[in-house]
Chain A
């Protein structure tokens, strides 16, 4: 037993290690990056397990699935949209099942602090028909992780842990327990793992057969708490995950708080919900993310004789991150007295590219080269360079998902948009840019791809990348990009004119060009120096 200060992300990571983890895989993405960061640090000291930054989330998922196939305990982690990338193996792994304990950690970002949507991973738990956990605090994140590995092996299924940014990036002390040894190698049975229809049908039937058992496990879970209030049956609260903390904060000084049900496991604990709903007239649902519980509770026709309140009818905002203030208000309680705001206009301070960032020089050169080209469009991608959208650059016109800059430029070029420019970082290119560039090269699409090679995954804190420097150039050439239209620039103020000319030349070429802008991230340079 020891008490350690851990981020929510780290509590999961340490829980996994002490549950006998043999290997973990991930692709960086806020708010999940710190899980594998921590595992890399821990494995560096002991080398007892593998902790690998994978090329993308689908690959990470399949690598982790391979560990489970081999009978060892594995972990894959990513941000919520990373689960979209890994959705194919994820859905199918519910059919193959897990051999060694397999934990999937998906960190949602309600409020979109660093994301392009606020999708709720609990829908994936339901979609795949597996068991899921949603911790409300650090200790639960650790304890649930320990339990999840045992449960995964008992059920023979992957288990998903849903985190949210606020818990991922909050620190608290966690009591840890004695570590458990790793599993021995033990291969999965081929008849379960070959998903030919004949096997898949049988496996899917088995998955369906286990659903009632999973509901029972959820009803009996020590992480779900039902507390009734016989003195006041007017209101009952259902709160899941971190929303439970905000609810308890609001009623902390109550002599007898309203009846409540804390939900931290999925599928939903039906019996507990029934007991709460039977007990009260009105049910108020707090959940960070989508109204996942509320929607199931309402069904199509509501609950006769009961009032259900939540995100779907107003008391709780339907979008954005929950907060103690929102929950307090929804409970009908007055705001706490506080000092008045100053009334001075508070200039916003948005994030921006670092002083000396190579992307800044590339955007300046690109903007100059595009001057006068009416109709030009710069398709961008996911990374620091997305900040090129902000002043003073105003340099990009789209950012959708990993790799989309290349494929969207191809589509737009196919229907006559000119010039179609794609801007993508080296890590994002390795993640999801290679296949669309292969496709564009076969068609010799009339587009210009600029790969920003800063030799790192910068936005998430400087994780390694898979294609940089000479290796990147050889890779691009190997995809079929004509050598004379594979150019490099060094984005520095002194090279501005040269860079502008090279970009202009390639924009004028009516076919595929790739320009690699090569200069190391200034943050990484700084780290090396200190």
Chain B
């Protein structure tokens, strides 16, 4: 059993928090994992990605070979599209439909979403709307994690436990908002 996930987004969108939750859930479940991430210059509003590998056996490479990714999980649609060719022929794309436009030549959003829907399975959620509904627009990353949760080889309970651990220190409002964001993301994915 293994699962390779490309986490994608723009620096500052909370990719590393998603990775943190998955890492800790994997540790709790006794799975092996390796998770390569981007630090430094690219974090200043640039494209960032994290290679997240889960397995019940040995994991060799920190990077996911092209054609091995089981899932692209992206907080931003253009960033999801950037890694489409790493996906296995039976892979799944879970992405936000909310564009992050900090570049002058951002492509036509409808074309981007149409291209993403060419993957064998694509789940698109309006993370901005759902995060606002949950109580904070900052929780878009957790909306996406919720949307992906039914497709992960990890138990939902392990993910929720880590989310609690991650946000407990930031007060009950923030924690509640993130738990709700997870739930709304999960429901939106199931409905799509």
Contact = CB atoms under 8 A, between A and B. Distances in A.
Given A169-B39, A172-B33, A338 B66 contact: yes
Contacts of B27: 3, 5, 173
B29 to A, nearest CB: 12
Nearest to B112: A344
B129 to A, nearest CB: 23
Contact of B81 (A114, A336, A344, A350): A344
A31 B42 CA distance: 12
A338 B45 contact: no
Contacts of B102: 349, 352
Interface stretch (A178-186, A208-216, A242-250, A508-516): A242-250
Contacts of A172: 32-35, 59
Interface stretch (A94-102, A320-328, A414-422, A440-448): A320-328
B59 to A, nearest CB: 8
Contacts of A242: 62
A171 B34 CA distance: 6
A347 B61 CA distance: 28
Interface in A300-347: 323-325, 328, 335-347
A34 interface: yes
Nearest to A339: B87
Interface in B34-65: 34-47, 59-65
Given A349-B10, A352-B44, A384-B44, A171 B37 contact: yes
B61 A113 contact: no
Interface in A137-187: 137, 166-167, 169-173
Interface residues of B, number: 56
A387 interface: yes
Nearest to B59: A172
Q: Is the interface of B mostly helix, strand, loop or mixed?
A: mixed
Contacts, number: 156
Interface stretch (B103-111, B144-152, B179-187): B103-111
A459 interface: yes
Given A170-B35, A348-B103, A113 B42 contact: yes
A338 B68 CA distance: 8
A339 B84 contact: yes
A167 B40 contact: no
A337 B62 contact: no
Contact of A351 (B35, B44, B89, B118): B44
A206 to B, nearest CB: 40
Contacts of B23: 5, 171
A176 to B, nearest CB: 14
Contacts of A345: 107
Given A170-B36, A172-B34, A349-B10, A338 B86 contact: yes
A165 B182 CA distance: 32
Given A171-B19, A339-B88, A34 B103 contact: no
Contact of B78 (A328, A346, A350): A346
B41 A113 contact: yes
Contacts of B65: 249-250, 323-325, 328, 336
Given A340-B85, A344-B107, A344-B112, A354 B63 contact: no
A379 B86 CA distance: 40
A347 B103 contact: yes
Interface string B70-82: 0000000011011
Interface string A402-425: 000000000000000000000000
B172 interface: no
Interface of A: 3, 5, 30-31, 33-34, 113-114, 137, 166-167, 169-173, 242, 245-246, 248-250, 252, 323-325, 328, 335-354, 384, 387, 459-461
12 contacts: A33-B39, A246-B60, A246-B61, A246-B63, A338-B89, A342-B84, A344-B107, A346-B107, A348-B47, A349-B78, A351-B46, A459-B40
Given A113-B40, A344-B107, A346-B82, 7 more contacts: A114-B39, A171-B35, A173-B32, A341-B85, A344-B81, A344-B115, A459-B41
Q: Which 8 A-B pairs have the closest CB atoms?
A: A336-B67, A30-B40, A338-B67, A114-B40, A342-B115, A351-B46, A249-B61, A324-B65
Interface of B: 10-11, 19, 23-24, 27, 32-47, 59-69, 78-79, 81-82, 84-89, 91, 102-103, 105-107, 111-112, 115-116, 118-120
